[in-house]
Amino acid sequence: MFPPRILITGANGLVGQALTRAAARLPGADVLATSLSTAVVRTRGGTARLDVLDGDAVERMIQDFAPDVVLHAAGLAQVEACEADREACWALNVDAVATMAAACQRHGARLVLPSTDFVFDGTAGPYAETARPAPLNAYGRSKLAAENALKASRLTDWAVARTTLVFGAPAGVVPRLDLVRWLIRELRAGRPVRVAADQLRTPTYDDDLADGILRIVRFRRSGVFHLSGRESLSILGVAHRVAEAFDLDAGLIAPATTAALHPGAPRPLQGGLLILRAESELGFRPRSLDAALDAVRDRLGLDAPA
């Protein structure tokens, strides 16, 4: 199956765009990038509209394109939006995964599902794959349920790729800014920002995540893998590194608590992921945070600090 036929859902999102770019670089790969929007980000390979909530449309797409593997990046990742509309969150993050898994099983395709460190409660991170999940919010519960739906399906050839705090520089418009691009926008405009000083994560560069997921595909691995950066630091620490990398005013950055910033949707405080399994079994080698920020600056066409 290599080079494979790859179907990507959610191709207009941050992760979906990174997967589309990376998959299109595989020699001989046949890539179909799909999204709910008709304005799918264009790269080498085909594009199509797909509503993953439409079971008949999913079935037709899998039957007609006959992918070897589906990279299912479609979903609702906005934590507050999931908390506000739990029914919509569940439909997109759980029911659509079960539908996709069933279609993949019927047509002999593999399925790789990106997930999140928000499946954990943040009391003992960074977490290994063997840690017991205990999500705190609707988003985390939906992603854990999606993982469980995949495991409970009749599909035997599947993988889950948990990640955390993904950032990058997508070519097209995405539904929301990631932390790094939000910080760049606000600090360049001279606006003060408040960021969490009590929330630890292992920030992940989008191209590194895409590389890790395609390694799962290439090496035909199954099960749960953690794919993130190696460095564990607070959101406040990330903000200061962004200010340094882009020559922005760190004096505009003020510490705050996660509870104060997000009163309606709790976050795991000591989160992040351990990536030893991915390093040893996949040869996964994420770049340092500073190197990733340099890459974002290059992709955005910004000058390096003097």
Q: How many CB atoms lie within 10 A of CB 220?
A: 12
What DSSP character marks residue 287?
A: P
DSSP letters of 9-60?
A: ESTTSHHHHHHHHHHHTSTT-EEEEEESSS-PPP-SSEEEE--TT-HHHHHH
Catalytic residue chosen out of the listed positions 139, 158, 167, 205: 139
Is the Cα dihedral 146, 76, 36, 227 positive or negative?
negative
Contact 76, 22 (CB under 8 A): no
Q: Which residues pair with 47 in a beta bridge?
A: 33
Q: Which residues pair with 204 in a beta bridge?
A: 166
Both structure tokens of 89: 């969150």
Greatest Cα-to-Cα distance within the chain, rounded to the nearest angstrom: 57
Residue whose C-alpha is closest to residue 212's, from 295, 283, 130: 283
Q: Is 127 annotated in the active site?
A: no
Catalogue the active-site residues.
139
